[in-house]
Structures are given as structure tokens and as C-alpha cells.
Amino acid sequence: MNIIRRFLSTSTENSSYTISSRLLNRNPRTLEWQNLQWRSIGWPLQYPSKDYLHRARLLSSGRHLIAQIDHYYTGNTCVQASTREWAIRKHLATCKDRSVAYNLGLILAQRAEQCGITKICFGHPYDQQYEKSSRLQYFYRGLIDSNIEFEQRENNQTQMTKDSIDGINYDEHEHDVRYTPPKIHYPPDTYQEKLHYFQLGLNKKNELLSNNEMNKEEKISS
Amino acid sequence: MSIIIRKNLLKLIWNIQLESIRYHRVIPMPDPMPYTTAIWRKRFPYRNKTQFEVTHDEVYTKDMELKTLEERRHEFDPQPIRVDKVNIGYLSPIDSISTAESRNRFEHYTTQRNRADLKKLHYDGALRLPIDEVHNDWLSSKYFSENLRMIADHYGLFDDLFKHGYFIPRIPLHINYPYSDEQVTPVYSGNRLYAKDASEKPQVEWKSTNKENEYYTLIFTNLDGHLKEDDAEVLHWFVGNIPGNQIDKGETLCTYLPPFPPNGSGWHRCVFLLYKHKNGPINFSQLYGSLPGNSVSLEKRTFRTIDFFNKLCSHLRPISLAFFQVTWDISVKNIFYNILGMKEPRYEFDFEPRYVPPQQFSVEMTPFHTYLEQYRDRKDVNEEVIKHYLTMTCPFNGYPNVPKYPLAIPNEKWVPDWYKYELIKYHKRQGKWKMMPF
């Protein structure tokens, strides 16, 4: 069967344009979003482990609290929210309170999503410092309530696999993820879109928004 | 006589002591070749000589060949350029806070501190800040500018746009792509979108004073999507000489082309740059060159912000920045076919090849089939597997007769050992057969 393919455009300006066989993507962060960036390994016996890409931290100076997200490899601070800002401080009575830490968590997560950072590694989960300081607990609670994702290490390029059972897995000693068959349940486009919008939080409503009307309108329209 | 004797005695004793010192503090010669046999070591010429006979250089001749760090650096880059980045944009914030305003703010803080109801909210953990209001206030503060510059640095924008320059964006740029009748997709700093979100022209807004001679230029480029050259950008939208806030009154020197990241090429950064003119409108064709108006040809749309800014730096200054990241979507296919008139390319990530030692003609102690398979292209190996899988699942061949315990079935005829192990690998789905989905 002869399939005649016709371009709907009438322009012939690009008919003689030859593409190079290799495309260089200069974006230093593509590999991270595609899960192809080499990650550091060797942290199971060391604390705190540094196998994250983006880590949320709560720092306190003398009179202020600063919440920031660091990037591990470059050491840059990507996003920052602090009580020094007029925008935040004008609603507060005290600057170093734990409820302030909660709100800083929410604001930090919102700003991080605006910057393209959807997955954050939460600094110290169960630690003497964490259990002692309720401020830190409220901070992480704020991050969790803002529906931002937790960073997990899965499907790296080629690394020694770790089983959930301790011991050496002789069969899958070097598990090369590139050559596994893709796990697709839906046609690629709709599944990835669904996942993407789920990650961006467009299907979820932020419960802390006090505008109930807005929520109702969105529910009706979506 | 006695004195002479004593002198000689002293000399004697001194010499004896020297000799005894010498033999006592014997520094053994370190082994120059750690992996040698005992016979060789015994025959080594410097074996009996120690610290006075053998100097370091006679034994360790290899150290002289090693280069210092400075020399290696010089080899790598004989004339390194160290340039500090220059601030291209506005050095001071445009709407800075007056002293009266800041005094008001501090008074406000003191009143807040004395409010008992607020403190109660704090202690109960029930304090909720209005996030939208906080966001709007933040956009006009210096922390926003600094944060935006940090993020742009993190994404490497300034390296690719202006090689040795950076700027602090002083004004927030509000960009919204239409999504449906009521909803819009906003563009902040580094948002991640699909290509279909950016297929239509966005609404761009910024705050401008109502002065007479204020002109702006808006440029929208894709930093990573150039299909031919590595260091060029693709110009998607160019609006020049915008009076004040109204984009409709500016000259569209390049019509809007939606970004087209090809499949498999990752996330491309697309940047909106807003420049403010110093003295009135600019004649771009005179100063910069011809810009593609309606044309869709990708050659004309290659753009380098470095060249553009170098030619026009005395007339323009960057004042604002917004960027997002795009990736492939099915709508990109339509862009290629309908708008650009090209076939859609498809890319794959170029993984680093696994290291295999150089192939030798004959190798001992390795089974030949595993040895040779290392040197085959991985894609050919996978192709065999896929072909076998397709024959197994071919609908014309009937349902595949897969025994329940394939390893328990003995082979009818004799089969060499290496082939037997290959069959075991096949049944266990190890090695290259790991690709089989069942």
C-alpha cells in the first residue's frame, strides 16, 4: 500500500537544511531531570549521605530563619526564602518560631516548583537533632504539605544494584538499566502527561489556600 | 706524652664512634621494584650499599620524568584567560525603598511584636501566611532579583547567553501561555513544560513607568535547540521598539515560532529577555542586520545573543529575564510537518561506551563466545533478542510452547558445553536475554 505523505506547509525554506547527526544540549540540568546524571555512590556507611541532587535546609542566623535548597554537585543555592524579606516578615510577630518554619517550608516548595525543581531530598529524617527540634519537624511538615515530591534514587545509568535484602546478588551484579524494556501501561503521550501534571500538582488542590471559591471553580471546570 | 696519647685516644674513639654511628643508623634501601623475585633482588647492584653510596636519584629515575602541576596546566592550556564576569545590566535596583518606607516597615515590625493574638497563632502552630500575597510582594523586592540571578547561574544561562557577562534582573516579567479559556500556564524561572503548552503566543506583561521615551525589546530564544551548530541559539520571537508596556505597538521583526525540542533530546531552556533602550527606538536592520520576518527557515533563525549584544550594547541594557524548560511532545511533530516543512528528527542519548580491553587475537582462559560477544555492537546483540522475541510472539505461529521448567528438560542430542551454558542463560533470562519481557 502506497502511503503518500504530504507536508501541510507550503514553505520550502527548510527543504535543503541538513541537520547534524549529533545534537548538543547545553542545559547543565537536563541529565538530572532525565535521570541520566551520574550520581555519587558509596554513602551507605556514612552519615549524612550526600547522594542527593537538591536538598532542603533550614538555617538560622541570630534573628532570622533562612530556608534554602542546595544543589549537591555545584554547591549553588538554587532557591531561598528567609524571614528577612518584607513580604514574609510583615505577617509575623516572631521570626524564629516553628510555625514560621512551617510557612517557610510551604513558600520554599512553591518557589522551587517555579524554578523547575520538583523533587527535593529532605535533609535529616530521623536524627537526634530532628527529634529535639520541633522547628525542623514543622519545616519538613510544611514541605510535605505543599505536595512536593521526595527524591528517590531509581534507575541510574549503570551502577551496582542494591537489593532490599542485604547480601550480594550474584545474578544481577551489574544491572544495566538502559537495556531494560520500558514499563509502559498507557500510550506514552498520555501517561507521561498524566504523570507530569500530577507532579506539577495541577490535579491536586493545595488545602492551605483559604479561597474555597477558587477550589470549587477549578473542580467544576477540570 | 700523656696528652698526645689522650688526643690520639680521643681521635680513635671519635672515629670508632663515627663508624659505629654509620653502621648503626643504616637506612635500608627501599625496594625499587616491589614485585621481583628473590634471586633478582640478591643480584641487584645497590643491595649492600645504603645511604652514602646510593642517592635517591640513582635509584628513582622515574620521578624525574613526572611533571609538576604547573607544567601540566601549561600543557593543557598554554594561555589561559581568566576573566571575571561583568555586570551588564542595571547596577542598582530601579524601585529601591526610601528611608521613610523602611522606617515605616520597622515600626510595623514593632507593632506586630506586641500583638498578642498573632503570638497566640504562632505558639499554636496555626499561623498560615497568604501565599499569593507573599508571592506578589516578593516580586518587587531585591531578594527576587538576587534569587533569579542565582537560578539563572545554576542553569548556566549567563554562560551561554553572554559569555563573560551577567545581569541582575530588576523587573519581574509576567508571562502566561494560554491553556484553556480560564486557565493559563505561567512561565517563571525554570518551569518545566511540554511543547504543546508553548504552542501559542503568550501574554507578556511588565511594569513600566509612563514616561515618553521608554522603549523595550523582547527576545525569545531557545538555547539548546539548534539542530546544526553547537553554540548557536534559535530565535523564536523578536519584538523591537515596544513603547512602554504595549507589545502590540512594537515591531515584530520575527514572528512567533513555537519551540520544537526533538524527541530524545532532553529539556531545552527557552529564555525571554527584556532589554530597555537608552535613547529611543533603534533601527535594527542598520545596526544588527536583517532579522527573519515571517520566514520559517532555520538558517535565518540562528541567533547568537553575544553578537547581538556586542553590536547593540551602547543602545540596550537587559532588564528582565524569564525562562522555562521544554521537552518533546506529540505536538512537536505537527510543528515540524506543518510549520517548518521538515521531517521530524529523533535522537537518542549517547551513553559512554563500556570499557572493554583491546581485542587480542587469541586469549586464554576465556570461553570464546563470551569473549567475542563483548566486541559486538550492543545494538546488534539486542536486535537478535528482539527478533527472537518477535518470532515467539508472532500471531501466525500460534501460542509459544514454553515449558514450565525449561531447565529440567534434558537435551536430546549432545551439545558442546559452551552452547549448553548459552541455553541455560536463555532459559534463565540472564545476560542479553534480560531484555525479554517474559
Instruction: With beta carbons under 8 A apart, name residues in chain A contacting B262.
Output: 23
pLDDT in tens, B289-324: 888 888 888 888 999 999 999 999 899 999 999 999
Q: Where are the domains of chain B?
A: 2-76, 99-340, 368-435
Q: Which of A42-56, B18-32, B67-81, B328-342 has the highest mean pLDDT?
A: B328-342
What is the pLDDT, as a whole number, of residue B92? Answer: 87
Query: What's the pLDDT score for residue B42?
Result: 63
Q: State the Cα torsion B378-B380-B384-B385 to the nearest 10°.
A: 20
| Position A1 confidence tier, pLDDT thresholds 50, 70, 90 | very low
- Please report, as a single letter, which amino acid is at residue A168: I
User: Is A114 among the domain residues?
Assistant: yes
Domains: count for chain A: 1
Architecture of domain B99-340: Alpha-Beta Complex (3.90)
CATH number of the domain encompassing residue A129:
3.30.420.80
Quote the ipTM score: 0.72
Is there a contact between B189 and B322 (Cβ–Cβ < 8 Å)? yes
Q: What are the backbone dihedrals phi and psi of residue B193, each rounded to the nearest 5 degrees, phi first?
A: -125, 160
pLDDT reported for residue A68: 93
- B283 at interface of A, judged by CB pairs closer than 8 A: no
Q: What is the pairing mode between strands B251-254 and A54-60? A: unpaired
Q: What is the pLDDT of residue B355?
A: 80
Nearest-angstrom CA–CA distance, B188 and B206 = 13
**Nearest-angstrom CA–CA distance, B204 and B178:** 11
> What are the pLDDT digits (tens) for B142-155?
999 999 999 999 99
Residues A157-175: what's their mean pLDDT?
48
The three-state secondary structure class of A56 is strand
Antiparallel, parallel or unpaired: β A149-150 and A119-122: parallel
* Rounded CA separation A60/A82 (Å): 9
Q: Are A155 and A35 in contact (CB under 8 A)?
A: yes
Whether B18 shows a pLDDT value over 70: the answer reads: no
Residue A139 pLDDT class (50, 70, 90 cuts)? very high
Q: Is residue A120 part of a domain?
A: yes
Closest to B327 measured CA to CA, from B191, B148, B187: B191
B282, B315 contact by CB (below 8 A): yes
A95 Rama class: left (phi>0) / alpha (psi -120 to 50) / beta: alpha
Distance separating alpha carbons of residues B174 and A114, to the nearest angstrom: 13
As a whole number of angstroms, the distance between CA B219 and CA B161 comes to 12
- Span A119-126, average pLDDT: 74
A178-185: average pLDDT: 49
Residue A177 included in any domain = no
End-to-end CA distance of chain B: 108
Interface with A, mutate which of B233, B342, B347 (most A CBs under 10 A):
B342
DSSP codes, B208-244: ----SS-EEEEEEEESS--SS-SS-EEEEEEEEEEET
Placement of cell 521530524 in the chain: B344
Residue A33, Cβ neighbours under 10 Å: how many?
Answer: 19
Give all strands of the β-sheet with B203-205 in edge-to-edge order: B184-187, B174-178, B203-205
Residue A90 counted as domain residue? yes
Is the CB of residue B179 less than 8 Å away from at least one CB of chain A? Answer: no
| CA distance, residue A5 to nearest chain B CA (Å) | 10
pLDDT tens digits, one per residue of A68-88: 999 988 888 999 999 999 999
Higher confidence at residue A105 or residue A155? Answer: A105
Minimal C-alpha gap between B401 and chain A (Å)? 22
How far apart are the C-alpha atoms of B113 and B122, rounded to whole Å?
11
Contact check, Cβ <8 Å, B131/A110: yes
Domain hosting residue A64, numbered range: 51-153
pLDDT: is B262 or A174 the higher one? B262
What does the pLDDT look like over B40-59, one tens digit per residue? 556 666 666 555 545 554 55
pLDDT at B81 over 90: no
Does residue A207 carry a pLDDT above 80?
Answer: no
CB-CB contact of B377 with B366 (8 Å):
no
| CB neighbour list of residue B49: distance below 8 Å, 6 or more residues apart | B29
The confidence score (pLDDT) of residue B167 equals 94
